[in-house]
Structure 1
Amino acid sequence: MGGRARIDVVGIGAGDPGDVTVNAVAALRGADVFFFLDKPGEARELSDLREAVLAAHVPDGDYRVVRAEDPPRDRVAAGYADAVVDWRTRRADVCERMIAEHLGPGEVGAFLVWGDPALYDSIIAVVEDVAGRGAVEFDTRVLPGISSISALAARHGVTFNQVAGAVQITTGRRLAAGWPDGVDDVIVMLDAGNAYLRYVDQPGVTIHWGAYVGTADEVLISGPLGAVAEHIRETRDKARAAKGWIMDSYLLRRARPTAGAAR
């Protein structure tokens, strides 16, 4: 086999193999090798879930899987942005090695990304870094996926925004610093510190929370924030302790004045 190699960055949804798009399935079936960055400890289950997606959509098993341990990120560093840059560089080092050693000319390699690769995921940037170094040559293709927050909204049967309103996607770190200006609907990801607790005393705030959305372990809680916040915190702590890891997100909604009240 000759020609130029290609790397596919494939969004595989939030966990349910049924949520993988038709285009993503075609990409999975066209790949020669899949690159897994395995998390240590209990979080290895994330790789097991990736294997379940492959088993569901590429049942003939005509592919190779190359594994490497995902470099740890310094989560207590004073400079958050610098810590992320360092982590991505070390991830690129690992990915460059895997691609150089296991992707042949004309072959297609794939990274399977939870949710959508464009939303709070680093693999696109990591692959761009590897390509920019010039040691290995390949083309890149990105296939979108159903994001965890899209699945969250669907499970709760809600929309992201209210009529004529804006919505902002942010992190728990930023929400802890204050509710974003100009929006009443905030979608929050990567909240290790339960930033929603800051707003339990604000009237008219509701929350739609979910963990492990799209998997067999899915947990959903919603309601007035003041009434369910502690239940969410306790449920989240128990789930994380039981599994050793957690993937969750939530929609925080502030009631908007009606048209009549605004006059």
Structure 2
Amino acid sequence: MSLHLTLIGIGTGNPEHLTLQAIRAMNRQDLILIPRKGAGKDDLAGLRRDICNELLTNDRTRIAEFDLPVRDETTLDYRKQVDDWHDAIAAVWQATVLAHGGGNRVALLVWGDPSLYDSTLRIAARLDPAPEIEVIPGITSIHALTAAHATVLNEIGAPFTVTTGRRLRDEGWPQGADTVVVMLDAGGAFREIDSDGLHIWWGAYVGMKEQIIVEGPLAEVAERIMQERTQARARHGWIMDIYMLKRV
């Protein structure tokens, strides 16, 4: 029987942010896979469990948890690190489905921004035989950030750039941009650029009950953001944050 794999966007993990389409899709599944990311990150699996407990009404839908492989960062070639890691994850998905007699409808609850920086579709493409894939969109962290600050992403008719902390740190302010959204920042890339004339809207755990937001001139709030970030990571064992920078 061919596998039908549904990737269900759950936004930032707040059950209230799931769309009606996402809830209906969850309840059509034979099996939902939940990854465990290791010590200190139990909250990530726990939030997915909470979503299932609250929104699943189909008694036939089963839950299967698996341990997410760890990326080998000893290899100097970053792309090879990622490719090998994705191969390992695909193998674990396949093994978990087989071990639990998954049926032909299997889903993953995709946290974050699959349209931008999530690799779930790339991993799914490694499955053999290739499954039929369905994607249910969710609220992105960019939506959650601008809503938390009650602001807008772009000025009228103006473009914006979405980039990573690594690229902001290594390449500086993107050419031709007045608004920049930064994701996947390991911590403090905004301190590596000239803060003159820049305003920042920062948020961690946006859309969740743990949400923290800070806004203001970058030169004035950068260190406060770093303190908030360090303290929050120590409390939870993990952090997901995002920020928007604008020239004002």
Q: How does the TM-score come out when normalised to structure 1?
A: 0.88
Give the share of equivalent positions with the same residue, in percent: 38
The answer (yes or no) to whether the contact 1:115–1:147 under 8 Å persists in 2 is yes
The answer (yes or no) to whether the contact 1:15–1:213 under 8 Å persists in 2 is no
The answer (yes or no) to whether the contact 1:9–1:112 under 8 Å persists in 2 is yes
**Aligned amino acid, residue 82 of structure 1:** K
Where does 1:24-39 land on structure 2 (aligned, <5 Å)? 24-39=22-37
Residue 90 (structure 1) shift:
1.1
1:118 aligns with 2:115: yes
Q: What's 1:258 paired with? A: none
* CA shift in 2, pair 1:239/1:189, >3 Å: same
Structure 1 or 2, whichever has the larger Rg, is 1
1:172 aligns with 2:160: no
For 1:55 and 1:154, the matched residues in 2 are separated by: 27
Paired residue for 2:3, among 2, 5, 20?
A: 5
* CA shift in 2, pair 1:248/1:121, >3 Å: same
* CA shift in 2, pair 1:64/1:254, >3 Å: same
Q: What's 1:181 paired with? A: 175
Paired residue for 2:207, among 214, 220, 227?
A: 214
The answer (yes or no) to whether the contact 1:119–1:147 under 8 Å persists in 2 is no
**Aligned amino acid, residue 215 of structure 2:** S
Structure 1 segments of 4+ aligned residues over 6 angstroms from their partners: none
Where does 1:61-140 land on structure 2 (aligned, <5 Å)? 61-75=59-73, 77-105=75-103, 107-130=104-127, 133-134=128-129, 138-140=131-133
Residue 253 (structure 1) shift:
1.0
For 2:102 and 2:228, the matched residues in 1 are separated by: 46
The answer (yes or no) to whether the contact 1:12–1:116 under 8 Å persists in 2 is no
Residue 77 (structure 1) shift:
4.5
For 2:49 and 2:135, the matched residues in 1 are separated by: 20
* CA shift in 2, pair 1:166/1:76, >3 Å: farther
Paired residue for 1:252, among 218, 237, 245?
A: 245
Q: What's 2:46 paired with? A: 48
**Aligned amino acid, residue 121 of structure 1:** D
Q: Deviations over 1:177-198 (max 9, x none)?
A: 2111111111111111310012
Residues paired across the two proteins, number:
247
Q: Deviations over 1:186-212 (max 9, x none)?
A: 11111113100123x432101111101
Q: Deviations over 1:148-194 (max 9, x none)?
A: 12111111111111222211111100000211111111111111131
Q: What's 1:227 paired with? A: 220
The answer (yes or no) to whether the contact 1:32–1:63 under 8 Å persists in 2 is yes
| Higher mean displacement: 52-61 or 222-231 | 52-61
**Aligned amino acid, residue 33 of structure 2:** F
Residue 66 (structure 1) shift:
1.1
For 2:75 and 2:174, the matched residues in 1 are separated by: 25
Q: What's 1:261 paired with? A: none
For 1:192 and 1:239, the matched residues in 2 are separated by: 14
1:190 aligns with 2:184: yes
For 2:220 and 2:74, the matched residues in 1 are separated by: 32
Query: Please, which runs of 5 or more residues in structure 2 have no aligned partner?
Result: none
SS of the residue corresponding to residue 196 of structure 2 reads coil
Q: Deviations over 1:1-20 (max 9, x none)?
A: xx543110000111211110
Query: Please, which runs of 5 or more residues in structure 1 have no aligned partner?
Result: 256-263
The answer (yes or no) to whether the contact 1:8–1:141 under 8 Å persists in 2 is yes
For 1:71 and 1:247, the matched residues in 2 are separated by: 19
